[in-house]
A and B are shown apart, each in its own frame.
Chain A
Amino acid sequence: MVNLKKDNFIIAKKKFSSRLIVGTGKYKNMSQCAKAIKLSGAEIVTVAVRRVNISDRSKPILMDYIDPKKITYLPNTAGCFNSKEALRTLRLAREIGGWKLVKLEVLGDKKNLFPDMIETLKSTEILAKEGFKVMVYCNDDPLMAKRLENAGADAIMPLAAPIGSGLGIQNKINIQIIRKQTKLPLIIDAGLGQASDAAVAMELGCDGVLVNTAIAKAKKPFEMAQAFKNAVIAGRQSYRSGRIDKILMGNPSSPSKGII
């Protein structure tokens, strides 16, 4: 049996046991979000940096529902469309309480939400120099992934499909090429729609997956959170077990000797 206990997930020298990272957006309310996270078993959650509501201080605060001492907050630059905005957001995130492990996401188009890789690369270089541990959302492009790695990224996070699309992994070959070329944590970020998509990502050799919409907007988010948890474990175990070769014709499972 594959010993999953020894199979740690390490990002920027920090060990995690769950390979599922979940987003905290799009839930009906904070308590639903907190419960889904608990059921998913995730140890890392992405969070956004936004203005404090000055006029209504009674509004619930994320930190009251998800304890940053127990769950690793991964500040994300979602909603940033250039390097300047992304850098400003992450520098502020660091100031909130020393967060250095961050997720960089610089978008280039409001409709398809594809990343602007030129701005992303530029930001990665600057953030790495400033001492941030940068997990980088990127296109499923092996050349750009390599450049991000050279620029000092701590994790490569290619998309499966556009953010929130639920389409699943569209370019398995590219993901496999990126897997072969990098020893950095490879995490599928964005575009997954159902638990099996996460299993596929893990079977391709990814180190983890990041899911938000597929859980938060499922008809039953709590059940889907558990489904993703199980799919990530199953997919990882399957990957490490060494799959059989694909062949064109049939190969019987029962011995042909002794047929009556």
Chain B
Amino acid sequence: MKKIKKIKIRLNGNIKSIFVDYNLSDLINLHKIPLKKVAIELNGKIIDKKKISKIKLNNNDKIEIVHFIGGG
């Protein structure tokens, strides 16, 4: 059986290993992130949440997923 290739990404500061054919939507689903309550940044650029299924992830991509928390 052919081994599926993996790539390394940095998600919210932590290195994660994911399958090479993953897109941003797959990553969101994998971590059960409530899309309506977050904003996503890919390599320093804010991503339109409607387009995440079209955004393929590459090795060394930096992804930040943020939401609102308590603050002053």
- The one of A54, A55, A62, A94 in contact with B70, judged by C-beta atoms closer than 8 angstroms, is A62
Q: 7 new A-B pairs (CB below 8 Å) besides A26-B72, A62-B70, A88-B41?
A: A24-B69, A48-B69, A48-B70, A48-B72, A57-B31, A163-B72, A164-B72
Which residues, 36 to 51 on A, are CB-close (under 8 Å) to B?
46-51
A75 touches B70 (CB 8 A): no
Is B55 in the interface zone, CB < 8 Å from A? Answer: no
Is B67 in the interface zone, CB < 8 Å from A? Answer: yes
Is A240 in the interface zone, CB < 8 Å from B? Answer: no
Contact mask for chain B residues 20-48; partner A; CB cutoff 8 A; 1 contact, 0 none: 00000000000111101111110000100
Tell me the dominant secondary structure on chain A's binding face: mixed
B14 touches A48 (CB 8 A): no
**8 pairs, A vs B, C-beta closer than 8 Å:** A48-B69, A52-B38, A54-B65, A55-B14, A76-B71, A88-B41, A91-B46, A97-B37
Shortest distance in angstroms between B62's beta carbon and chain A's nearest beta carbon?
Answer: 12
Nearest chain-B residue to A64 (Cβ)? Answer: B37
Is B11 in the interface zone, CB < 8 Å from A? Answer: yes
Shortest distance in angstroms between A25's beta carbon and chain B's nearest beta carbon?
Answer: 4
A36–B39 alpha-carbon span in the complex (Å)? 27
With a CB–CB cut-off of 8 A, which chain A residues contact B41? 88, 92
With a CB–CB cut-off of 8 A, which chain A residues contact B32? 57
Listed in ascending order, the chain A residues whose CB lies under 8 Å from chain B are: 23-27, 30, 33, 46-52, 54-55, 57, 61-63, 73, 75-76, 78-79, 88, 91-97, 163-164, 190, 212-213
A212–B72 alpha-carbon span in the complex (Å)? 6
Q: Which of A27, A95, A164 has the most C-beta atoms of chain B within 10 angstroms of its own C-beta?
A: A95
User: Which 8 residue pairs spanning A and B have beta carbons closest together?
Assistant: A48-B71, A23-B72, A212-B72, A95-B39, A24-B70, A47-B68, A92-B39, A25-B72
Q: Which of B32, B64, B70 has the most C-beta atoms of chain A within 10 angstroms of its own C-beta?
A: B70
With a CB–CB cut-off of 8 A, which chain B residues contact A88? 41
B71 touches A24 (CB 8 A): yes
Shortest distance in angstroms between B49's beta carbon and chain A's nearest beta carbon?
Answer: 7
B68 touches A63 (CB 8 A): yes
Is B12 in the interface zone, CB < 8 Å from A? Answer: yes
Shortest distance in angstroms between A156's beta carbon and chain B's nearest beta carbon?
Answer: 18
A73 touches B68 (CB 8 A): yes
Nearest chain-B residue to A26 (Cβ)? Answer: B72
- The one of B12, B37, B46, B72 in contact with A76, judged by C-beta atoms closer than 8 angstroms, is B72
Nearest chain-B residue to A59 (Cβ)? Answer: B69
Nearest chain-B residue to A45 (Cβ)? Answer: B70
Shortest distance in angstroms between B50's beta carbon and chain A's nearest beta carbon?
Answer: 11
